[in-house]
Structure 1
């Protein structure tokens, strides 16, 4: 599909759940940039295993895992009146920054963690959580009220559990798996998906400190450790 060339603004939308469902959108949890960023930067890091047995010669490093991708963004706030869409405010940019912080930084008391964030603009679609933010105040009125600032934010990528599994295509029972309980899930069923056999649910229950495997909570995260298969 050809681009229409229409101006669109970068948006950050907050969600309460890791599935990014429409029903999980946070009330007043949407932010649209005043000015689109000049750039955004992706950072990719892999972790290598450099363990070496005592008395052996140097070994080449072995791939361990790929760490979540990270995106860096600069968000501009302006109330100088120099930008056509901005307006002069008695409070300068303070209210704008507070509204922005409510979206990206506010603590969700029900889930005991900050919101999940989706960033979209053009071909960019990034899902993650805020891991770092600094705000640089650039211009001030004579009375000291800030009227221009740049928020530098860093988001660490988050991929929904099902999508992550599909991407990795890694079903080995020799690896540790992390799964989120969804509606209809049971411990035997989840064990079958991981190990190919439901009989390992008791070992999984023990690994997660579960005393009643019949009562799982939707949204609960469970660890499925490497298990030695028995016949």
Structure 2
């Protein structure tokens, strides 16, 4: 309530992590942007395999997969002194200290006309190094967590395009816009939790109950009754008519 009365705005933040565990204790940095974006573009993609019979005039689209979400933001960098600078904090930080926010709000938007403005080059380099930082141990770039209002995405940076627009007398930039495209990502554990575990395209491990029949178990797994011999071979079964209660059986994916 105090922050709202003082006109303090919640800034979009980017949390930077070394891996897809997104362990808060391992967070490298939190970036609070200089100016909240005025728009963003969110893209969803469904990918198909295109098949077309010889002589046909149209295609038969077969579902392949749903691609990850993509989002694009424009980030402003300005070192003229007209607007407060961006903030980069170590570790995971959900909100800037109230005192820092007050300083930003109350700071006069007047710069000394006789003083040369700083260049945005160093600030941009730090921003780029955090988002694109390469980990020599994992051979991976950074994992990111975008948070702004109700928007949230775990992602990685796909591309960054920088446009410079205002310059000092020596030609060095004091204003730039970085257009960044991010692609959503999930850890293997999250994918396992969300995927349909009944799918015949993944391996299943099942424990035999007292009333279970082998052929019926195979039919329930694959929605067909023709794979039970292959499953018997995969499990090294000489006979599938006599199963032991508590026995573990592997039902491999359909190839």
Residues 194-228 of structure 1, C-alpha deviations (whole Å, 9 max, x = no match): 42259x9xx9xxxxxxxxxxxxxxxxxxxxx8356
* Corresponding residue for residue 76 of structure 2: 76
Cα RMSD of the aligned pairs, angstroms, is 2.9
State the SS of the aligned residue for 1:71.
Answer: strand
TM-score of the superposition, structure 1-length normalised?
Answer: 0.69
* Corresponding residue for residue 195 of structure 1: 204
Query: Does the 8 A contact of 1:40 with 1:72 survive in 2?
Result: yes
Deviation at 1:169, TM superposition (A): 2.5
State the SS of the aligned residue for 2:9.
Answer: coil
1:172 to 199, 202, 209: 199
* Corresponding residue for residue 11 of structure 1: 13
TM-score of the superposition, structure 2-length normalised?
Answer: 0.63
In the superposition, relative to structure 1, how do residues 195 and 80 fare at CA in structure 2: closer, same or farther (>3 Å)? same
Deviation at 1:159, TM superposition (A): 1.8
Matches of 1:93 and 1:82, distance apart in 2: 13
Gaps of at least 5 residues in structure 2 are 85-103, 208-230, 235-251
Deviation at 1:35, TM superposition (A): 0.3
2:25 maps to 1:23:
yes
State the SS of the aligned residue for 1:61.
Answer: strand
Aligned residues: 182
2:144 maps to 1:142:
no
Query: Does the 8 A contact of 2:143 with 2:154 survive in 1?
Result: yes
2:33 maps to 1:33:
yes
Query: Which 4+ residue blocks in structure 1 deviate beyond 3 angstroms?
Result: 52-60, 84-91, 165-168, 225-228
* Corresponding residue for residue 52 of structure 2: 52
State the SS of the aligned residue for 2:60.
Answer: coil
Deviation at 1:170, TM superposition (A): 4.5
State the SS of the aligned residue for 1:110.
Answer: coil
Matches of 2:59 and 2:13, distance apart in 1: 47
Matches of 2:120 and 2:79, distance apart in 1: 6
Residues 111-161 of structure 1, C-alpha deviations (whole Å, 9 max, x = no match): 101010111111111111111111101100111121000000001110233
Query: Does the 8 A contact of 2:165 with 2:176 survive in 1?
Result: yes
Matches of 1:114 and 1:55, distance apart in 2: 47
Query: Does the 8 A contact of 1:30 with 1:103 survive in 2?
Result: no
Matches of 2:161 and 2:206, distance apart in 1: 49
